[in-house]
């Protein structure tokens, strides 16, 4: 079996969180991962904001992510969780230490159409970072808004988290299909939607992710294995696409 890269893990809470992530990766044969901060908002509040709206202005603990990833630099790559409520210089000043940017309207409540979001993406463009985005089912934060944002920054690779807003979001997959600089990440979506994403986007635009620790990697791995992908498609989804997006391709 080829190598496996998780494009969407989070640093859990409490002492030893990074060691727990590494141990879980070892147990399930995951060779590397993108790691973003978690814990800015509890699950109940997050769920309410996704459905009803709302926001927090809390900063992510990007320093903890950076420190943890430095312990395992060959395996764990830190993403900066951007806060649109702050000036973009807070990201620009540290961007060189990170490998990408995450933006979440679900957490910070700022639309993808907002100039504050655009300011963060402008920094990502300067640095050459990919941008991971969690969309919502509301104006300003949906797949169509991601398409508009990606159109303004054709040299930036955007990653549509979870293949869309809900587990059966063919709407989002269809909307991004014609936009080559948007790829889709698989955590939380149904197996059938991953298959549709592969058919409509191609195997070069789908990335494996887990959403650890909210989702256990064994569940997401079982989902992909159930698709019985060809060895070449499996390598694309589980390893090669992530390496390309992150600029880790080897000649």
Residue written as token pair 């195997």: 203
Q: Write down how long the chain is.
A: 251
202 within a domain of the structure (yes/no): yes
pLDDT of residue 2: 82
> Is residue 251 domain-resident?
no
For the segment 106-123, the average pLDDT, to the nearest whole number, is 97
Residue 247 predicted with pLDDT over 60: yes
- Condensed to tens digits (0 to 9), the pLDDT of residues 56-101 reads 999 999 999 999 999 999 899 999 999 999 999 999 999 999 999 9
Check residue 123 and give its pLDDT: 98
Residues 234 and 2: their CA atoms lie apart, in Å, by 8
CA of 10: how far to CAs of 49, 55, 106, 140, 209, in Å?
Answer: 19, 20, 16, 25, 11
Q: How confident is the model at residue 12 (pLDDT cuts 50, 70, 90)?
A: confident
* Separation between Cα atoms, residue 193 and residue 179, nearest integer Å: 18
List the domain range (segments joined by +) for residue 14.
5-245
Q: How many domains does the chain have?
A: 1
pLDDT greater at residue 213 or residue 249: 213
Q: What is the pTM assigned to this prediction?
A: 0.96
- Domain membership of residue 106 (yes or no) is yes
CB 148 within 8 A of CB 95: no
The pLDDT value recorded for residue 39 is 82
Contact in structure between 201 and 183 (CB atoms under 8 Å): yes
What mean pLDDT is predicted for residues 29-38? 96
**92 is a domain residue:** yes
Q: Measured between alpha carbons, how far is residue 60 from residues 39, 122, 235 in Å?
A: 8, 20, 32
Does 251 have pLDDT greater than 80?
Answer: no
For residue 250, being part of any structural domain is answered with: no
Residues of the chain above pLDDT 70, percent: 98
- Give a yes or no: residue 176 inside a domain: yes
Q: What is the pLDDT of residues 130-175, one digit of tens each?
A: 999 999 999 999 999 999 999 999 999 999 999 999 999 999 999 9
Q: Is the pLDDT of residue 14 over 90?
A: no
The reported pLDDT for the residue numbered 6 is 98
Q: How confident is the model at residue 250 (pLDDT cuts 50, 70, 90)?
A: low
Model pLDDT, residue 13: 78
CATH of the domain at 94: 3.20.20.140
């Amino acid at each position: 079996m080829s190598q496996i890269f998780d494009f969407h893990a989070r640093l859990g809470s409490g002492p030893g969180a990074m060691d727990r992530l590494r141990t879980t990766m070892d147990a399930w044969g995951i060779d590397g991962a993108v790691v973003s901060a978690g814990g800015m908002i509890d699950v109940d509040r997050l769920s309410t904001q996704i459905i009803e709206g709302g926001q927090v202005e809390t900063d992510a603990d990007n320093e903890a992510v950076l420190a943890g990833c430095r312990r395992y630099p060959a395996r764990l790559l830190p993403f900066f969780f951007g806060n649109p409520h702050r000036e973009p210089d807070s990201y620009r000043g540290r961007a060189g230490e990170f490998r990408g940017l995450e933006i979440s309207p679900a957490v910070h409540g700022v639309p993808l159409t907002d100039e504050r979001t655009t300011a963060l993406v402008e920094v990502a463009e300067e640095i050459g970072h990919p941008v991971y985005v969690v969309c919502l089912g509301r104006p300003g934060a949906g797949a169509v808004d991601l398409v508009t944002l990606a159109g303004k920054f054709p040299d930036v690779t955007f990653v549509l988290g979870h293949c869309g807003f809900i587990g059966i979001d063919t709407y989002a997959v269809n909307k991004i299909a014609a936009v080559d600089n948007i790829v889709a990440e698989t955590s939380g979506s149904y197996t059938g939607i991953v298959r549709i994403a592969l058919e409509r986007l191609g195997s070069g635009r789908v990335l494996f992710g887990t959403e650890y620790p909210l989702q256990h990697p064994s569940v997401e791995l079982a989902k992909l294995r159930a698709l019985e992908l060809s060895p070449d498609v499996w390598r694309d989804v589980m390893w090669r696409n992530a390496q390309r997006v992150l600029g880790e391709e080897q000649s």
